[in-house]
Copies of this chain bind each other. A is one copy, B any other.
Amino acid sequence: MAVSTVYTVQSLNSTFSISKPTKTQLGFNQKQLVFYKKTTTTRRTTTEITCSTGDTVVIGLAADSGCGKSTFMRRLTSVFGGAAEPPKGGNPDSNTLISDTTTVICLDDYHSLDRTGRKEKGVTALDPRANNFDLMYEQPPKIFVIEGLHPMYDARVRELLDFSIYLDISNEVKFAWKIQRDMAERGHSLESIKASIEARKPDFDAYIDPQKQYADAVIEVLPTQLIPDDNEGKVLRVRLIMKEGVKYFNPVYLFDEGSTISWIPCGRKLTCSYPGIKFTYGPESYFGHEVSVLEMDGQFDRLDELIYVESHLSNISTKFYGEVTQQLLKHADFPGSNNGTGLFQTIVGLKIRDLFEQIVASRTAAPLQATKA
Instruction: Tell me the A residues contacting B by CB distance below 8 Å.
Output: 255-270, 282-283, 312
Known: A261-B262, A262-B261. A267 touches B255 (CB 8 A): no
Say what secondary structure dominates the interface of chain A: loop
> Do the beta carbons of B262 and A258 come within 8 Å of each other?
no
> Do the beta carbons of A268 and B260 come within 8 Å of each other?
no
> Do the beta carbons of A265 and B259 come within 8 Å of each other?
yes
- Copies of this polypeptide in the complex: 2
Additional pairs, 15, CB under 8 Å, beyond known A255-B255, A258-B267, A262-B262: A255-B312, A256-B265, A256-B269, A257-B269, A258-B270, A259-B263, A259-B265, A259-B270, A260-B263, A260-B264, A260-B267, A261-B261, A261-B263, A261-B264, A267-B283
CB-based nearest B residue for A262: B262
Q: What are 21 A-B contacts with C-beta separation under 8 Å?
A: A255-B256, A255-B261, A255-B312, A256-B263, A256-B265, A256-B269, A256-B312, A257-B269, A258-B269, A259-B264, A259-B265, A259-B267, A259-B270, A260-B267, A261-B261, A261-B262, A261-B263, A261-B264, A262-B262, A267-B282, A268-B283
Report Cα–Cα, A270/B258, bound state, in Å.
8
Please tell me which one of the listed residues B257, B269, B282 contacts residue A259 in the complex, with CB atoms under 8 A apart. B269
Nearest-neighbour CB distance to chain B for A252, whole angstroms, equals: 14
Report Cα–Cα, A261/B261, bound state, in Å.
7
CB-based nearest B residue for A276: B260
CB-based nearest B residue for A269: B258
| Interfacial chain B residues near A283, Cβ < 8 Å | 267-268
Nearest-neighbour CB distance to chain B for A241, whole angstroms, equals: 16
Report Cα–Cα, A258/B263, bound state, in Å.
11
Nearest-neighbour CB distance to chain B for A339, whole angstroms, equals: 19
| Interfacial chain B residues near A259, Cβ < 8 Å | 263-270
| Interfacial chain B residues near A267, Cβ < 8 Å | 258-260, 282-283
| Interfacial chain B residues near A263, Cβ < 8 Å | 255-256, 259-261
Report Cα–Cα, A312/B261, bound state, in Å.
13
Report Cα–Cα, A257/B268, bound state, in Å.
8
Nearest-neighbour CB distance to chain B for A52, whole angstroms, equals: 39
| Interfacial chain B residues near A269, Cβ < 8 Å | 256-259
